[in-house]
Chains A and B, each alone.
Chain A
Amino acid sequence: MAGVIDAYLAELDHRLAFDRALRDRVRAEVEDHLREAAAAHPALCVDEAERRAVTRFGAARDVAARFADDIVAGAARRTWLVLAVAAASALLAMRLRRMLLDDAAFDAVPLAAFLDRFAFVAAVVCGVAGFFIWRAMERRGLTDLAHARLPARLAVASLAALVLSIAGGACIAVAQPSVPTLAAFLLEIAMAGWLGLQAFALQRRTGAALKALTS
């Protein structure tokens, strides 16, 4: 029959399943801690000493939730940084198109020109709003999974608008192909791809953490 500490470690393993490297390290540290804490009560029977050690440590779900909050906060910080770089790249590409192409190029594809400009504005508005809301929450220590929803939705909206803007830029670049406009377009695509991968990783990690914590 598994001891109290073994059962606790098995639950912690399950709750930290969203990050294998973290789980292995935390498990080893927590096991060392609990064995030492249990050994500090030599007068008690093994089960009782282990039960006390586990009770003092706190519920496995709460411990895992704290790790999950920190990991999601770190991933969110990276996502904002990537979003800012992607938006700056899109702006640079947009400026290049305006400098290199004449007005007729934009008039030829009016919807694309509209998206290129106004979807970018929408991306910046959503991104800036989401970032400042997240910063305000971070200052108040509210970066846990439950409070991350609104800024995460704004980041997704910003990403979607940025993709629309890049699609508009792509139509213009394809309609008036030249080396600089195509290069600018490729830069935008690369940045959007990077941002998409980052957003996907954040979403996957957040989803896995929520699943492990609530199951």
Chain B
Amino acid sequence: MLKGHLDALVLAALEGGGAHGYAIIEAIRVRSREAFDLPEGTVYPALHRLEKAGLLKSAWVVPEGGRKRRVYELTKKGKDGLAERRAAWARFAGAVEHSLTGRSPWPA
């Protein structure tokens, strides 16, 4: 079920600034209140795919006394892509809510 939304979750996790893969997975876990406990290896193909699509950029960073790691950041296209995915999700979630409960999520 998460498969189609993984890209959006990754983009949202990077909204606050650049991060490496492990930190992105942690951010997804924390932001979802531990509801999304992904097999961690699924995130790296998504990061590469999003970078290829121009939504992310990345660079190797060597923190002082630390290991070399690849840090990902949202590009302008990535920020726009996140906004589009959020709007699409809001429409989809609203429609499901209305279909299941009969209550409209939108003000009358």
Contact = CB atoms under 8 A, between A and B. Distances in A.
A141 B69 CA distance: 30
Contacts, number: 60
Secondary structure class of chain A's binding surface, majority of residues? helix
Contact of A57 (B40, B52, B68): B40
A211 interface: no
A9 to B, nearest CB: 12
B40 A29 contact: no
A70 B21 contact: no
A26 interface: yes
B107 interface: no
Given A35-B67, A70-B48, A70-B49, A29 B42 contact: no
B24 to A, nearest CB: 10
A33 B48 contact: no
A74 B45 CA distance: 13
Contacts of A36: 22, 67
A68 to B, nearest CB: 9
A67 B41 CA distance: 10
B85 interface: no
Interface in B22-46: 22, 39-42, 44-45
Contacts of B52: 70, 74
A33 B22 contact: yes
A25 B70 CA distance: 9
